[in-house]
Amino acid sequence: MAEQRFSIYRPIHKAIRHLLFSTSRQIGLADFADDAVTHETLAIVDRTISFLREHRGHEDTFLHPVLEKKVPGITAKFAEDHDEDDRLTTEIEQLGAQIRNANGARRVELGVEVHERFNAYIGIYLGHLYREETELAQALWDHFTDEELIALDAAIEGSVPPERLGLWLAEMSASYNPDEISLLLNIVKAKAPPEVFQGMTQLAENAMQPAMWAKVRTRIGLG
């Protein structure tokens, strides 16, 4: 059996895929003739894009520079992907602004367009995620120990303000299995003040199915 190495990409990419697919579903269900539904749907789109930008920034700041020192040029294509990603998400945001300023049949028509554009974007972005999980992950394993990768992961988490980390945790809790979310919460329990741990556990409980949360409660020592 092959050695299981620490994967810096897999956990966060699970949350990213959840965001992408759940947002696509929300856009597809939306009645753009309804003002309240339109407002809610576009807010979800904006929220998802903000997470994607933040994730891209973490990779640009923490992962690409250390990889470049070991394998010069390895991140060039991924940097191009990030530039394309920024362009495509900006176009989706601009389309959202058009929807906010439209009415009636025109707004419904634009709603169909944003659904198509967002799903086209997902198709492109999923390939990018896969290549990171194979090409860049292998380079990280070739040149860094698991302890070094865990330290990199901790540096990324440490750069996220607590209130923002809570928002990420909600997405993680909706996409992680009990072992993964228990590991994350036990780290918070060991390193953060009790009130932070309590707040994080409440966020996780709210986002998870009861049967899964029951397993997590036991694994984080809540009985």
Q: What is the mean pLDDT of residues 69-78?
A: 97
The pLDDT score that the predictor gives to residue 196 is 83
Residue 84 phi, psi (nearest 5): -65, -40
Q: Count Cβ neighbours within 10 Å for each residue of 23-46 and write b for 16 or more, e otherwise.
A: bbebbeebebeeeeebeebbebbe
Q: Count Cβ neighbours within 10 Å for each residue of 100-120 and write b for 16 or more, e otherwise.
A: eebeeeebbebbeebbebbee
Can you tell me the distance from the alpha carbon of 141 to that of 31, in angstroms, rounded to the nearest whole number? Answer: 46
Question: With 60 as the cut, is the pLDDT of residue 2 above it?
Answer: no
The pLDDT score that the predictor gives to residue 167 is 87
What count of residues does the chain have? 223
Nearest C-alpha neighbor of 160 from the set 63, 55, 68, 88: 55
The domains of the chain are located at 10-159, 161-223
Asked if 71 contacts 56 with a C-beta cutoff of 8 angstroms, the reply is: no
What CATH number was assigned to the domain covering residues 10-159? 1.20.120.520
* pLDDT tens-digit map of 26-63: 999 999 999 999 999 999 999 999 999 999 999 999 99
* pLDDT tens-digit map of 112-150: 999 999 999 999 999 999 999 999 999 999 999 999 998
The pLDDT score that the predictor gives to residue 180 is 86
Q: What is the mean pLDDT of residues 13-20?
A: 95
Considering the chain, what is the average pLDDT of its residues? Answer: 93
pLDDT-based confidence at residue 3 (cuts at 50, 70, 90): low
